[in-house]
Amino acid sequence: MKYIIGNWKMNKTAGEIVEFTRGLKKYKFPKDKDIIFGLAVPYVYLLGMSKLQVRFWIGAQNVSEHSHGAYTGEISAEMLADVGLDFCIVGHSERRTLYHESDAIVNEKLKQLQEYDMLPILCIGETLEEFEAGKTHDVLSRQIREALKGLDLKKEMIVAYEPVWAIGTGKSATAENIKESVSFIKSEIKKVGADYPVLYGGSVNPANASEILHIDCVDGALIGGASLDPDRYVQIASALYSN
């Protein structure tokens, strides 16, 4: 199975979403069951996405670590499951950095999602400083161990390797870096007794998609900026079925 998942972050208005879906309709997506197309959209548009008849997986970009109660502004895993979403991103580096989400909070969020059988896409990745200091393996290993503590490892999960220095910078990691880190992540996941697909994210664009998506251990891409434009999204997806 391969995954092409867009993460819109805090972008788009309702009108722009209509434009986006209109743009997508020009393309014939292969009915290949081995490729999943998905979009993580802002909360307020989640319900409307199904009305637009985009036959994509639709997911949220975040979830509360609490189950319910007096947490003004938060959205629970139960609510996400209630509106029939397909997945939820957890631990994106922007959440970890800008909103101070620790490994422990990421772990609580994953527990909430598991309770409602919602598929998580767990983001992990090292900062530039950690990369330059040769600490990539230590960081990835800690993030995996802490995130998965106390979880039901038989339930499905997707992991996305997103080196922080490659996100939104236009400078993706090299194929060699990606292969090395994704193989390492897969071996760490196996060590704790789980087996999850691993995507790559960080400046994926139509020019580098083919090289990245053809790395044998990479199960797909998590795409930020380039997923905002239907043509670029489709060009990236097309890289999966071209040589």
Total of residues contacting ligand PGA (CB under 6 A): 13
Q: Which stretch binds ligand PGA (CB under 6 A): 27-35, 61-69, 128-136, 200-208?
A: 200-208
If one asks whether residue 168 binds ligand PGA (CB under 6 A), the answer comes out as yes
Q: Is 201 in the site for ligand PGA (CB under 6 A)?
A: yes
User: Does 222 engage in binding with ligand PGA (CB under 6 A)?
Assistant: yes
Closest CB 30 distance from ligand PGA, rounded Å:
23
Q: Give 122-133 as a DSSP string.
A: EEE---HHHHHT
CA dihedral 226→229→232→234, nearest 10 degrees, is: 120
From 120, 220, 225, 230, residue interacting with ligand PGA (rule: CB under 6 A)? 225
Tokens of 30: 């292969």
- Which x/- pattern, by CB under 6 A, does the window 46-85 give for ligand PGA? ----------------------------------------
Question: E strand or H helix at 14, and its extent?
Answer: helix 14-25
Task: Please identify, among the stretches 30-38, 67-75, 129-137, 161-169, the one whose residues bind ligand PGA according to the rule CB under 6 A.
Answer: 161-169
| Nearer to ligand PGA (CB atom), residue 76 or residue 208 | 208
DSSP 27: S
Using a CB cutoff of 8 Å and minimum separation of 24, what contacts does 170-178 make?
Answer: 170/203, 170/205, 171/203, 172/202, 172/203, 172/204, 172/205, 172/208, 172/212, 173/200, 173/202, 175/211, 175/212, 175/215, 178/212, 178/215, 178/218
Q: Using CB under 6 A, list all residues that contact ligand PGA.
A: 7, 162, 167-168, 201-204, 222-226
